[in-house]
Amino acid sequence: MAYLVQTAMLQRSLLLLLVPLAACGQGKSEDDWGKRDRKREAFKVPVRLEKPGRSAVEDWVESQANLESDRRAMILAEVDGRVVERHRDLGDRVGDASYGDEPYLLARIDDRDPKLAVRVAEIKVKEERGRLRELEVDESRSERNLEQAKLEAEEAAAVLRRTTSGIRDGAITLEEHEKAQFAEKVAQAKVAAIAADLEKSKVAQTLGAVMLEDAEVDLERAQVALEKTRLIAPFEGVVSYRSVNVGERVRVGDHLFTIEDPSVLVLYAEIPVRQANKIRTGNPVRIVSNATPEGTTGKVLLVAPTVDSAAGTVRVKIGVDAKAGFRPGLFVTVRIVVQSRKNALVVPKRAVLHDDETGAYLYVVREGQAARTDVKTGYETPELIEIVEGIDETSDVVVEGQDTLGDGAAVEVLEG
């Protein structure tokens, strides 16, 4: 019973509140409502206008990549040994004359064993050269002896011819003739023996020359091994990697240093095939980074002739103009300019809106009202966009306030 009483009292209170409200509504005249509608109609959207201008615009392809040094060398250990000196650390320059007489020296590996190997090889070369000189002397002596033996053989042959003629004439005895025959045979045998010795001497000399060449190769190999104990930078640059300390033992193939030339920068952009077809060697490139908003420039050096089948991209090599703040490893955005127009009709980018169905449009003002105008856009810059169709240079384009406009809306043009 108490619940029913409370409910009835609540309904009565609500009724008493609604009666004054209804009376207030009935008190408004039609003239009051009309004033409100006229105020609504008198409201104008504040906007700023600009006339289209003329400017150079570009068609470009955008990508992101990391800068790299085009001159980069990994310095590997080429001999086993312990590091006894380190002359450069991470970030140090190489090739700088301020580092003394050896501006390209990075480190040195213990060279005692290589030096000993060079000394042994030098002794071997000296021995082989001495042996070869002896063989050359023997050959020269044999050649002289052979010439002498040939002269003696010719004399013996001449004597034999005279004795043979003397026997027929009866002036020479048979005994004298036989002696001449024997002397001639001895002389010919001597020539043959010396000629054989000479041939052996030439063979020995040839073998000696080969032995000397082998010894010289061993010496050169030992000298190269000695040179490899000195780690030398191949060009002027900066140490971008260092992994070795004095006292550490290194083995052939260990990566000890990396040298980069920060003045010669490139990047490799991966461009979708459809866009890559527009790119040519020599195209100008604009490069920016969050770390260096002022940016720099470059140009296309190479467009790869093949496509990455997995990614569907083409690799484009770009040369970069090195400026302060641009260094290897920096992540940058690149815009490759593939085409440009010098005198295009342009408006600020912010003036152009987009509709999923009709595409790009903007607002122009005619007789105090906003008129939605569909446009065809073309190339662009970071601030401007080309208008190919839809407006001309006389159009008053809304550049501020367009986001709140509708077609036919009344506008108030703000100055400045």
pLDDT at 293: 78
Structure tokens at 110: 């213990």
Q: Crossing angle of helices 112-169/174-227, nearest 10°?
A: 170
Q: Residue written as tokens 């240079």?
A: 393
Q: What is the mean pLDDT of the chain?
A: 86
Query: Which residues make Cβ contacts (< 8 Å) with residue 81, sequence separation at least 6?
Result: 109, 110, 111, 113, 229, 249, 250
Residue range 331-352: average pLDDT?
A: 92
| CB-side neighbour CA atoms (13 Å) of 13 | 6
Nearest-5° angle of CA 91, CA 96, CA 99?
90
Residue range 203-217: average pLDDT?
A: 92
pLDDT at 323: 86
Distance between CA atoms of residues 318 and 279, nearest Å: 11
CB contact burial 255-268 (16+ within 10 A = b; e otherwise): ebbbbbbbebbbbe
pLDDT at 106: 95
pLDDT at 33: 44
pLDDT band at 412 (very low <50, low <70, confident <90, very high): very high
| Beta strand 369-374 pairing with 359-366 | antiparallel
Would the pTM of this model clear 0.85, i.e. be above it? no
Q: Residue written as tokens 């010894």?
A: 215
| Beta strand 45-50 pairing with 411-413 | parallel
CA 151 from centre of chain: 75
Distance between CA atoms of residues 35 and 51, nearest Å: 37
pLDDT at 287: 94
Say yes or no to pLDDT of 36 above 70: no
Distance between CA atoms of residues 340 and 85, nearest Å: 57
pLDDT at 32: 52
Q: Which residues on adjacent β-strands are paired with residue 313?
A: 272, 308
What letter would DSSP give residue 414? P
Percent of the chain with pLDDT over 90: 59
pLDDT at 42: 60
Structure tokens at 240: 């971008």
53, 346 contact by CB (below 8 A): yes
Q: How many CB atoms lie within 10 A of CB 99?
A: 15
101, 265 contact by CB (below 8 A): no
State the DSSP H helix or E strand holding residue 353, giving kind and residue range, or none if neither: strand 353-355
The CA distances from residue 186 to 153, 161, 196, 232, in Å, are 8, 15, 15, 69
Structure tokens at 283: 């195209």
Q: Of 31-35, 168-172, 175-179, which gets the smallest average pLDDT?
A: 31-35
pLDDT at 156: 86
Say yes or no to pLDDT of 181 above 50: yes
Say yes or no to pLDDT of 39 above 60: no
The pLDDT tens digits of the residues spanning 93-114 come to 999 877 778 899 999 999 999 9
Structure tokens at 349: 């980018």
Q: Of 21-25, 62-66, 111-115, 356-360, which gets the smallest average pLDDT?
A: 21-25
For residues 174 and 236, the model is more confident at 236
**Residue-by-residue DSSP string for 175-201:** HHHHHHHHHHHHHHHHHHHHHHHHHHH
Structure tokens at 381: 């810059």
Q: Which residues on adjacent β-strands are paired with residue 49?
A: 398
Structure tokens at 323: 């400026």
Say yes or no to pLDDT of 312 above 50: yes
Residue 31 burial class via C-beta count within 10 angstroms: exposed 0-12, middle 13-18, buried 19 and up:
exposed
Query: Which residues make Cβ contacts (< 8 Å) with residue 400, sequence separation at least 6?
Result: 47, 48, 350, 414
Say yes or no to pLDDT of 185 above 50: yes
Say yes or no to pLDDT of 389 above 50: yes
The pLDDT tens digits of the residues spanning 45-83 come to 999 999 999 998 888 899 999 999 999 999 999 999 999
Residue 339 burial class via C-beta count within 10 angstroms: exposed 0-12, middle 13-18, buried 19 and up:
exposed
User: Order of strands across the sheet with 249-250?
Assistant: 230-232, 105-109, 81-86, 249-250
pLDDT at 18: 38
pLDDT band at 175 (very low <50, low <70, confident <90, very high): confident
